[in-house]
Structure 1
Amino acid sequence: MKKIILLLSSALIFINVFGQITFCENFDSYTNGDPIAATSADWEIWPTPTSTDVSVTNVLSSSGSNSLYLFSGPTQGTQDVLLPFGTSAPYELGVFEFSSMFYVNQGTGAYFNFQAENIAGTTWSLDVKMDLGIMVVENTGSGLNYLTSTYPENQWFEIKVVSDLTNNMWEVFIDNQSQGTFTNIENKIASLNLYPIVGHEFYVDDVCWSYTEPTLEDLNAQVISVAPIAGLTGQNRWPSVEVRNLGLNNITSFDVEFLYNGVTLQESVSGVNLATTDIYTVNFDPLTNMITLIGGINIGTATVTNVNGLGPDDDPSDDSMNIQIEAIDPALGKLVIGEEATGTWCGWCPRGAVALNWMDHDYEGYWQGIAVHNGDPMTDADYDNGLFVVHGGSYPSGVVDRTNNIDPSAFKEDFLQRITVEPNGIITNGAELTGNTLKVNLTTNFQNSVSGSYKLACVLVEDSVTGTTNQYYQANSYSGGSAGSLVDVDGSDWANKPSQVPASQMIYRHVARGIAPSFNGGPLPNTSYNSGDSETLCFEFTLDPSWDQSKIHIVGMLLDNSGLIDNASSTSIADAINNGYNSCATTSIGVDLNGPDRINFFPNPATDNIYISNVLKTTNIKIYDIQGRLVLEKETHNKEYLNISSLAKGVYQVTFEGENYKEKRKLIKE
């Protein structure tokens, strides 16, 4: 069957022929000034209140007399229109082609994107950005830049995008000259979006698209994706391969091979019944089928074989896929520290907890995460106050080796920079445990000559902290999914958890229990050391009886002259005891460990009230502003609210004074 519709001198052509759909629009059926979405059944306005239509113009055209004119100016709304690609969209298989003529005014730019879903604003498939003669093709949402090229200004030129969706191979052309090919992380297409970014002025004409359905063989298994693999030289990794049934017959069994560094791994799959287009994920066994990373960038190849026990399938061309695997060489003896500012009151802080868990999963032995709590029962005041100076009250926030303050989601990027930096010293932990008294010695063996004021700090970190009161409920701003998914290492999604996760469901990891002698560490006795020298400092902690000693890590930090962490160490108490304990002439005592006798208040930051806990006797609380002026004073008792709504926004010092003690905390008023 063939259907052709011609409107007003072939202004619009729509053809559907035996599995192929073709559409073209040159805007010549409209009158100058017509708003395209309001006058055409094929175009729509982007579904937001601030979006406006785009007008047809007869000022310039590539063919005929009309085109679309898009610009971003101070006196108009935001032009933003969509061209849906037919009722069969989104397309995930077959070949999709798009072409259009563009005229970009000198010194300005142009922009368009493809949406991956029928509901606009859900997922961007591809972004094409043109500015000052430079064209960038990327997927903005993932941060992937696919290619960069040039385009002519002040003249008409054609952009064409050919998408082989079946094999995920995309190619971009300018005036029929290929600019490059790439695989797209969002291999799906549903509509065109035209939108002028600030400063853009451009014309669009002869917009065409076509879709050709795939021709399927009887029996065909296709490798459609291989999960990215990266890490450090010497680490083990486990491939994950997606296989799709791209044939007419059901698939009941197959093998997947993975070739890397001359070694081929194999996983066999049976007992399945995959219908046409069904996808099956093959995760290689982490105990038996692993690859060991080698330095540099190397190729890994996944291949599906022996489909239904019949050997090669009917289309071997899509049986294999190559990926690049990059492994970075870590510096010898290097351990990187990631400190995260968090609190049970902080609804976005699950992001930091998940980031720490994934870093443990991906870089065990090279990374030590530390969750520094604020305003909850797990707060260690010294550590909290010290880290506050770094992050300035942003929750969650993180810092890697005490370099730059970052969002915890960026831990990996900073880690990969720090893990390659040769340390000046390597730390060995030793310990002695008598009852609840833990004595620790940190011995630094210098690899290079250093001078100045190097310091050591000792941290206790617990990995299995639980509680029963509502103070251990974790606020969760990801609840309901409006902020997207937040998937943890165990596969759980914080979007599926309640807005207040009950204490019974929470196990807090990486919890900083104490730091000695202080956040900034204690100075080494000498101001210079040569390569081969060693130095030992000793620390003593009184452990709270409620802590799980088997889940505590002793973390040593060597801080350089600038306060950055040069290197670190991390061992269990048992392993440190096995290393032996060497006493020192002097010992730093970790006196401010967070046990049940420590005064706490939360939330922090706060707007109206703070809740005081762990006050055993009547206590006088005083709040001072940053000029040191007393702005609020009250006698308080345990489990009591203090109203701070009268305070201006800012940072305050809170002092608790009682019989034989005086403690200070920082408070952020929002």
Structure 2
Amino acid sequence: LLWHGLNAQQVLLEESFEGDALPSGWMVQTLASDGGWQVGTPAALSATLFHIPMALHGMGVAATNDWSCDCDKSQDRLISPPIDFSGVPGAILEMSWFFRKRSYGGHQEEAWIEYSLDDGLTWVPLHAVPPSDFNHWEDGGRFDLSALVGQSAVRLAFTYSDGGGHEPGMAIDWLRVRALPPRDLELSRLELPRYALVGESVAVRGVVTNLGADVLTSFALQWSEGATSWTETIEGLALQPLDTYTFEAELPFVPAEPTRYEVVVQVYMPNGLPDTILGNNELSAIVHGLSDMPAKKVVGEEATGTWCGFCPRGAVYLQKMEELYPDQFIGIAVHEGDPMASPVWIGGVTSSPLFESGFPSVLIDRRMLLRAAELDIYQPELPAMPAPVVPQLDAQLDVATKKLQVNASATFYTRFENADFRFNVGLVEDGVTGTGDGYAQTNYFSGSNTPMGGYENLPNPVPAEMMVYDHVGRDLLGGWAGVPASIPSYIEDGQQVSYSFAPYTLPDNWAPMNMHAVVMVIDQQTGEILNADQTALDIVCPDDLGTTVEVDDESVPGAEDGAV
């Protein structure tokens, strides 16, 4: 018997919590004064420090909100209807949840999955629920329910505890309990690089997951690219349900030309038998061969603001990266809610799907998010990532007109077809000062025993007259995403492309001698910054400086006075 696709699998329970009441058969156990778990829209169930993201499955969610209640949520259970696990070889729970696992003031919020065989009188812990990304759903996470197989009336509880503190809470968007077929081998992901030097070996690596009830002991692996194909059998495994295994094919892939390749990988024949589920056994990866490996410069766009008490940490770490990696890291402080804010720039940062609302946090090449304190941990590895392009720019400022002319260029080291690459340029200023409360820096490190670049010795707030702001992101010449069609869609290996931005008038309160321009090549299909460079503004003065100088000279007897 072959089961074709997920729709053919036996679903024991599925719920997406639509409407504004508990679904039929569900119930709540709680010590909280607000009634515990509730059903509604994310907006209706959110709070200031418990902002539930938009639902991914329908419109509704189930949530328990400790931030609004600040009550006893030490045992907040959302309880399912009875589930029949008799007659199934195995079972798993798939779920989308939002849970930060916040720790504050010596209290730790926790969440776990429990089960009851006596209709909720007693409960047995089954799995801890790990935290989701800071401001995103953990979508489709899996939990093994094999321990419940054979039971005919099992209630599951999704239990939240605030640990006795004042914590955010937890939300569930969707869940499904389904029976496992005997054999289901999933190719979960591939781990091939997007770019590799021509002639160098590329490991064909990936991860498989055992979604079957049987223990997985072996499987067949095949990868192909054009006329090249390789097949092998991987043996000696003992994967229980939901266990994963990282494989690497014995034969690597070797790009022969600076062009695009598609490597197709298949896994099949679990334990030497046909797979029960078809449709999750194949993935492909795009690899571009590079004729050269150019140097990579990493762009870090830090969300910050003078109102943010923890943001001095961001300033300290940007400065640290500039000192440690002057030729590899370009740090930009993107302000929000103060006089240095650039609406376009900070709007792009905070609307990024990677952004988690925490300040200070740093978008790295717009493909990953780091806390400011994590920069020095990851930075040594980031420049080693291959880049297919090297950008350059010149930026000339005409002092007489205050017009800035920026010309960008880029050299590519592989062939692209149907690409959507874009130039963008950011203007950045150091040494920014100002007067008024908007330039005073809120400082939660004041009086701290933890060293923080000297901020521990400064007051809270730090008065405006004591503050000098560096790396300030002033504006983006091409908006957040860059200029459409500024780079052609078809590019040959070794081709150089260029683009001239429209003249830009610098505001009078910017100091051009303290400014530099950052050029970025952005892959619009992924949003990633492929590579970048920076240069100081070239300030061009008029020949006569626009002035007339009167000279009175009596130092030489008989010299004539006059105008120069």
Q: Structure 2-normalised TM-score?
A: 0.42
Greater Rg by CA: 1
Q: Structure 1-normalised TM-score?
A: 0.35
Q: Which has the higher strand share?
A: 1
